[in-house]
Chains A and B, each alone.
Chain A
Amino acid sequence: MELLYFGDKGWGDELFFATLMTIAVSITAMIIGFIFAALFTPLKLSNNKILNSIANAYTTVIRGVPELLVIYLFFFGGSGAIMFVASIFGYNDYIEINAFLTGSFSIGIISGAYSTEVFRGALQSIDKGQFEAAKVLGFNKYIYFFKIILPQMLRLAFPNLSNVWQITLKDTSLISVTGLVEIMRQSYIAAGSTRDPLFFYSFAAVLYLMLTFLSMQLLNRLETKYSKGY
């Protein structure tokens, strides 16, 4: 247990901050994913064939290719792409992008593909009459979407979104390959310098279990709260 002391002697404080980092990356990735989902869900349901196939390509490719490969693409390709854009504007120095941003962006794109599918399914399972009724009653577009469709969609999407959250949380372990110090990376460092990999990786597993357990408790509570009316 000495290995877990806070301060210079143990790895307690390092692992604590690494856990916070994992939580921060997961939440950022989830939010980026929602932005992607907000962009692609309307395309998925649109009647325009080109827009439709763009959205289908996004969800199919991201869900069919390993997460690790997507992370390598952004890790190795990210700074190259930004440097290319910068060179158009006449900036030719080397630009290194932040590991946190690359990590949450790549995980965000992955979680966005799953969220898109969830939102699409939720929108399609709303009763058709709701759309028609809202239109017949002559609500403006704002009320139509934000007050009538969105609340119903979120309630239907909630259980699946908590699954997406759990997938996202576990996927953040993969960005340790880019050197961002989250739980997995910190355990790797600690295991390397103490030569006690069994203890630190098991402890990392316990940390992840705690995170998934606590977040599922919270999400289940929210779910029952918001589906009270049904």
Chain B
Amino acid sequence: MDIELMINSFPKLLNATLITLKLLSVSLIFGLFIGLGFAILRMNNNKLINKFAYGYSYIFRGTPLLVQIFIIYFGLGQIEYLRTTFLWVVLKEPYWCAIIAFSLNTGAYTSEILRSAFQTIKPGYLEAGRSLGIPSKIIFTKIQIPIAIKQSLPAYGNEIILMLKGTSLASTVTLMDLTGVAKYIISTTFKPVEVFIVAGGIYLFMTFIIHNVIKYLEKKYGFQT
């Protein structure tokens, strides 16, 4: 066991953790909006819109995240037309490509979580709102959304942890996130166990924090039914 290497690599890995956290938080925020949008589309009565939203979540949940990143990072650059538009400013950066792939991916999972949360809201709440004469827009924003958020907290907590693990794939498109730096140190020192313990420890610490924050929020905002 090379304790010195573990101590020396700790600050480097901690520095890389910042990139991991940045990727995670930015894609979670985008993903939440995408997920909410598609969840609303899923509940639309129009069959075409419904099918479209279902297809989106099916494709992104049925293929590996690695394929999605590669299509966006290596694939989209091939389209000549894209290179002339302003989109190219975004798509030539691996950082933004990773963010786009992660957001679309977590958006697909989030839309499923939110959809099932919306569908399990007791009809009595909505009927009560309607019989009080509350406009349907306010029923949606003030009754449906808060209840759906509460009900989807446990599942969404799992999704955050899955996404934290997903950000490790950013290292395949040359980003030096926690896994990327860990791999670099492993391949230069050939000490995989030591680096794994330090990097894995940092990941575990983050999952531990996320898990407990979600648990706290569940206790605070959850209600007994």
Contacts and interface: CB of A to CB of B under 8 A. Distances in A.
Nearest to B172: A177
20 contacts: A66-B179, A69-B168, A69-B196, A69-B203, A72-B179, A72-B192, A76-B187, A80-B192, A170-B63, A184-B64, A184-B70, A195-B78, A197-B77, A198-B75, A198-B76, A198-B79, A201-B71, A205-B67, A209-B62, A212-B62
A170 B200 contact: no
B186 A201 contact: no
Given A64-B204, A69-B168, A80-B192, A198 B78 contact: yes
A212 B60 CA distance: 12
A73 B78 contact: no
Contact of A61 (B79, B165, B204): B204
Contact of B75 (A68, A174, A201): A201
B199 interface: yes
Contacts of A67: 165, 168
B168 A202 contact: no
B171 interface: yes
Given A65-B204, A77-B192, A208 B79 contact: no
Interface in B201-222: 203-204, 207-208
A78 to B, nearest CB: 9
A205 B199 contact: no
B33 interface: no
Interface in B31-77: 58-59, 62-68, 70-71, 74-77
Interface residues of B, number: 41
Interface string A74-89: 0111001000000000
Contacts of B179: 66, 68-69, 72
Contact of A66 (B58, B74, B79, B168): B168
Interface in A199-217: 201-202, 204-205, 208-209, 212-213
B92 interface: no
A97 B136 CA distance: 63
A201 B74 contact: yes
B64 A208 contact: yes
Contacts of B79: 198
Given A191-B74, A204-B67, A72 B200 contact: no
Max count, chain A CB within 10 A of own CB: residue among B63, B76, B187, B193: B63
B192 A64 contact: no
A67 B204 CA distance: 13
A196 B58 CA distance: 25
Interface string B71-106: 100111111000000000000000000000000000
Contact of B183 (A72, A173, A212): A72
B140 interface: no
Interface string B182-194: 1100110010110
Contact of B66 (A69, A76, A174): A174
A151 to B, nearest CB: 29
Interface of A: 60-61, 64-69, 72-73, 75-77, 80, 166, 170-171, 173-174, 176-177, 184, 187-188, 191, 195-198, 201-202, 204-205, 208-209, 212-213
Given A64-B207, A205-B59, A173 B186 contact: no
Which 10 pairs of residues, A with B, have the shortest CB-CB distance?
A66-B168, A198-B75, A77-B192, A173-B64, A197-B74, A76-B192, A64-B207, A66-B165, A170-B64, A212-B62
Given A173-B67, A176-B66, A198-B71, A66 B203 contact: yes
Nearest to A210: B62
B143 interface: no
Contacts of A195: 78
B149 interface: no
Nearest to A202: B71
Contacts of B168: 66-69
B184 to A, nearest CB: 10
A61 to B, nearest CB: 7
